[in-house]
């Protein structure tokens, strides 16, 4: 009851019951409070805006101003002791809430649809994708994962991408939405072969992220039964990292990137034990998490010292953490990490070039892309790459059969005729540097792009442009590319009704880009956690345990 409301012996107090959008009871002074006072008080208790609620009593909507402009007390408008007030939200607020929920549901549906589409396009059977996403799956040792079926590959890809998206939502503190996406990821993982899941630690990390979301929402009821999730996480990390983390240290060259992850895990184990009434287990886990938390604290001076060597702040903090704050080991870590990233970037570029080359040659009758390794081997013997690629296409990538075709003059002539009969194929996106170089020579941008798309090199593109008659259209005498029903995989950039074009047009590119940017390919990103929230929670729960033990001790003394 408000202190600023006049009170006296004649000011009767009435108990009102509220139901509807909020339910509860309150006592108010009927003779001095107005409808406006009641509206403000109920809105405060319900956590709503005062202008967003409607109050109904005895079938009438209560309005702040009485007819004729006068202001009447609650008793005067007909409210008595034990009156029931029905509370509703205004139409605008209800519409906003419904619209917000619809947007959230639509966003989740878009995430699931985009991930499903990307996973389908990453199929092993499709040797090169129709988009720019190249998904490579590796285990803890950096070895490429082998799948017994494409369904397993698709399930794992979906799980990984959904988990990455969920982690980005966690970083934005969108815990409710993150839980929804984590549930999708868990469902996708459940469809994958168990042996494959045991080769990676992603399912264990997902379990930790799920319980962390529940903790950040302070969902105590669900936290108390989260012990099984944390048990699965612990078992999964044990398989991946070893009993004493020895396997992880071998894989990471003796460094300890996992420390922040275990701070979060042990904090959550302590929290769950606390809410389950297991106080000794809670204290054990929390103290262990606290020790690891202190190990992760790095001094500003050490960070500044590494930054002064030309390393970024992020690199410096990560290196100091994983090296146990040993400066020399931290420097070695950053240097090795940069080399690894540079090597990965180079491998990615090489793989993209190979994919572009495979697209130019098309597929075999069996639907497979030309084997670039075998192609390079044949080209090293002096054969033209396009002719060698055609031989591999017709021989289903059988190197010996392709070589026989190249050695036989009759079959070699047949291969050349096949190439001459094929329409000129357009490659994918051109090299921007090469395009800029041609344009700087005075060539038209569109013609330069087409020349690059039809050429093996920049020099060949220049020669093509110089040989073209002035003012001619490079496409005027050439048939448009067509769909090759035999499975040779002709590129189809100009056919709007082709399957490839229809697939690209129907894609949710915005959502796919959003999901793809969360998949960093950094093997240490999962462990690179800022732990200030964990530190605060550790102190909070250790304080609660201390308070309980102190109260128990006093009770014991009193009983004695």
pLDDT at 143: 59
- pLDDT tops 50 at residue 497: no
Choose among 5, 64, 59: nearest CA to 34.
Answer: 64
| 486: pLDDT strictly greater than 50 | no
Q: What is the mean pLDDT of residues 280-285?
A: 95
Across residues 108-119, what is the average pLDDT?
84
Contact 241, 201 (CB under 8 A): yes
- Please tell me the distance from the alpha carbon of residue 284 to that of residue 296, in angstroms, as a whole number: 19
Residue with the two structure tokens 């029905």: 86
- Stretch among 65-79, 105-119, 158-172, 417-431 having the lowest mean pLDDT: 417-431
Q: By CB neighbour count within 10 A (0-12 exposed, 13-18 middle, 19+ buried), where does 269 fall? A: buried
Least Cα distance to 181 among 250, 109, 121 occurs for 109
Tell me the mean pLDDT in the region 441-460. 79
Name the H helices within 87-219: 91-121, 150-171, 175-190, 194-197, 202-216
The fraction of the chain above a pLDDT of 90, given in percent, is 21
375 has a pLDDT exceeding 80: yes
pLDDT band at 349 (very low <50, low <70, confident <90, very high): confident
Q: What is the pLDDT of residue 530?
A: 77
What's the confidence (pLDDT) of residue 135? 58
pLDDT at 439 > cutoff 80: yes
* pLDDT at residue 476 in the model: 35
Q: At what angle do helices 445-453 and 458-467 cross, to 10 degrees?
A: 120
Q: Which residue has the higher pLDDT, 512 or 229?
A: 229
pLDDT tens for residues 244-277? 544 444 334 444 567 788 899 999 999 999 999 9
Kindly report the number of other CB atoms within 10 A of residue 100's CB atom.
Answer: 10
Kindly list the strands in the beta sheet with 53-57, ordered across the sheet, starting from the edge strand earlier in the chain.
24-29, 13-20, 84-89, 53-57, 60-61
The residue whose two tokens read 């059969």 is 401
The per-residue pLDDT for 559 is 45
pLDDT at 269: 96
pTM of the full predicted structure?
0.58
Tokens of 195: 């042996």
Secondary structure letter of residue 143 according to DSSP: P
The separation between CA 380 and the C-alpha centre of its own chain, rounded to angstroms, equals 43
Nearest Cα neighbor of 170 from 522, 525, 508 is: 525
Determine the Cα–Cα distance for residues 60 and 10; give it in Å rounded to an integer: 27
Cα separations in angstroms, 270 against 225, 242, 287, 439, 544: 13, 22, 9, 64, 12
425 contact partners, CB below 8 Å, separation of at least 6: 360, 362, 454, 481, 490, 491
Burial of residue 515 (number of CB atoms within 10 Å: 0-12, 13-18, 19+): buried
Identify which has the larger pLDDT, 417 or 37: 37
According to DSSP, residue 200 is labeled S
What are the DSSP calls for 401-450, one per residue? HHHHHHHSHHHHHHHHHHHHHSPPPP-SSPPHHHHHHHHHTT--HHHHHH
Q: What b/e readout covers 8-35, taking b as 16+ CB neighbours within 10 angstroms?
A: eeeeeebebebebbbeeeeebbbbbbbb
* Top-confidence range, 130-139, 294-303, 372-381, 494-503: 372-381
Residue-level pLDDT at 133: 53
Note the pLDDT of residue 96. 66
Q: How far is CA 76 from CA 14, 60, 80, 132, 531, in A?
A: 13, 14, 9, 72, 58
% of the chain beyond a pLDDT of 70: 75
Rounded alpha-carbon distances, angstroms, from residue 313 to 89, 167, 261, 307: 49, 22, 20, 6
> How many C-beta neighbours within 10 Å does residue 82 have?
9
For position 482, what pLDDT does the model report? 29
**pLDDT averaged over every residue in the chain:** 77
The answer to whether the beta carbons of residues 87 and 18 sit under 8 Å apart is yes
| pLDDT at residue 215, rounded to an integer | 94
The model's confidence at residue 449, banded by pLDDT at 50, 70 and 90, is: confident
Asked if 434 and 427 touch (Cβ cutoff 8 Å), the reply is no
How many of the other CB atoms lie within 10 Å of CB of 277?
A: 9
Asked which of 119-133, 316-330, 386-400 is least confident by mean pLDDT, the reply is: 119-133
- Predicted local distance difference test score (pLDDT) of residue 282: 95
Pairing of strands 13-20, 84-89: parallel
Q: Which residue has the higher pLDDT, 54 or 253?
A: 54
Query: What tokens does 75 get?
Result: 């008793």
pLDDT value at position 464? 77
Q: Is 342 helix (H, G, I), strand (E, B) or coil?
A: helix
Q: Nearest-CA neighbor of 213 among 271, 291, 292?
A: 271
CA neighbor of 513 nearest in space, from 90, 45, 40, 132: 132
Residue 414 has pLDDT above 90, yes or no: no
pLDDT recorded at residue 197: 82
Q: How confident is the model at residue 549 (pLDDT cuts 50, 70, 90)?
A: confident
Query: What tens digit of pLDDT does each residue of 130-178 get?
Result: 445 555 565 555 556 667 777 888 888 889 889 989 998 998 999 999 9
Q: Judge whether residue 503 has pLDDT over 80.
A: no
**171 or 100, which is more confident:** 171
* 3-state secondary structure (DSSP) of residue 488: coil
Handedness of CA 28, 33, 38, 40 (dihedral sign): negative
79-88, 146-155, 389-398: the lowest-pLDDT one = 146-155
pLDDT in tens, 188-206: 998 888 888 877 778 999 9
Residue 548 scores a pLDDT above 70: yes
pLDDT tier for residue 6 given thresholds of 50, 70 and 90 = very low
Would you list the DSSP string of 375-387?
HHHHHTTT--HHH
Average pLDDT over residues 543-559: 72
DSSP letter assigned to residue 526: G
Query: Tell me, what's the pLDDT at 533?
Result: 92
pLDDT of amino acid 251:
39
Between CA 26 and CA 38 the distance in angstroms is 10
Give the count of beta carbons closer than 10 Å to the beta carbon of residue 360.
20
| pLDDT, position 400 | 92
Of 8-12, 118-122, 295-299, the one with minimum mean pLDDT is 8-12
Token pair for residue 245?
Answer: 């983390």
């Amino acid at each position: 009851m408000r202190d600023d409301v006049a009170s006296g012996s004649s000011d009767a107090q009435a108990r009102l019951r509220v139901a509807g959008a909020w339910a509860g009871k309150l006592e108010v002074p009927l003779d001095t409070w107005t409808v406006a006072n009641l509206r403000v008080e109920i809105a405060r208790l319900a956590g709503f805006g005062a202008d967003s609620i409607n109050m109904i009593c005895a079938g009438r909507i209560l309005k702040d101003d009485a007819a004729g402009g006068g202001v009447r007390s609650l008793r005067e408008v007909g409210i008595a002791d034990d009156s029931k007030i029905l509370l509703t939200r205004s139409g605008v607020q209800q519409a906003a809430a419904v619209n917000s929920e619809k947007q959230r549901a639509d966003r989740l549906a878009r995430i699931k649809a985009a991930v499903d589409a990307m996973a389908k396009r990453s199929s092993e059977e499709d040797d090169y994708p129709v988009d720019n996403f190249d998904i490579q799956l590796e285990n803890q040792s950096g070895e490429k994962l082998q799948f017994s079926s494409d369904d397993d590959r698709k399930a794992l890809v979906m799980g990984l991408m959904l988990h990455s998206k969920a982690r980005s939502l966690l970083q934005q503190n969108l815990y409710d939405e993150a839980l929804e996406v984590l549930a999708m990821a868990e469902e996708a993982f459940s469809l994958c072969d168990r042996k494959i899941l045991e080769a990676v630690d992603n399912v264990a990390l997902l379990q930790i992220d799920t319980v962390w979301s529940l903790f950040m929402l302070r969902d105590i009821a669900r936290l108390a039964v989260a012990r099984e999730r944390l048990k699965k996480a612990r078992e999964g990390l044990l398989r991946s990292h070893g009993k004493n983390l020895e396997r992880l240290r071998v894989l990471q060259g003796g460094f300890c990137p996992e420390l922040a992850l275990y701070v979060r895990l042990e904090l959550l184990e302590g929290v769950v034990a606390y809410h389950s009434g297991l106080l000794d287990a809670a204290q054990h886990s929390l103290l262990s998490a606290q020790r690891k938390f202190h190990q992760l604290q790095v001094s500003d001076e050490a960070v500044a010292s590494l930054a002064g060597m030309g390393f970024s702040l992020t690199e410096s903090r990560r290196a100091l953490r994983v090296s146990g704050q040993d400066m020399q080991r931290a420097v070695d870590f950053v240097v090795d990490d940069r080399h690894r990233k540079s090597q990965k970037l180079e491998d990615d570029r090489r793989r993209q070039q190979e994919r572009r080359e495979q697209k130019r040659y098309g597929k075999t009758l069996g639907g497979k892309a030309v084997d670039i390794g075998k192609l390079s081997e044949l080209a090293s013997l002096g054969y033209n790459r396009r002719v060698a690629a055609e031989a591999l296409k017709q021989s289903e990538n059988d190197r010996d059969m392709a070589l026989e075709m190249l050695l036989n003059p009759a079959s070699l002539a047949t291969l050349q005729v096949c190439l001459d009969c094929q329409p000129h194929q357009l490659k994918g996106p051109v090299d921007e540097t090469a395009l800029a170089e041609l344009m700087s020579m005075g060539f038209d941008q569109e013609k330069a792009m087409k020349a690059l798309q039809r050429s093996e090199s920049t020099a060949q593109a220049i020669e093509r442009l110089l040989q073209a008659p002035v003012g001619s259209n490079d496409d005027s005498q050439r048939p448009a590319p067509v769909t090759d029903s035999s499975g040779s995989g002709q590129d189809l950039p100009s056919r709007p009704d082709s399957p490839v074009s229809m697939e690209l047009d129907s894609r949710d590119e915005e959502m796919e880009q959003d999901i793809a940017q969360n998949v960093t390919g950094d093997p240490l990103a999962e462990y690179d956690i800022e732990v200030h929230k964990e530190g605060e929670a550790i102190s909070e729960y250790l304080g609660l345990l201390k308070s309980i033990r102190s109260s128990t001790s006093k009770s014991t003394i009193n009983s004695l």
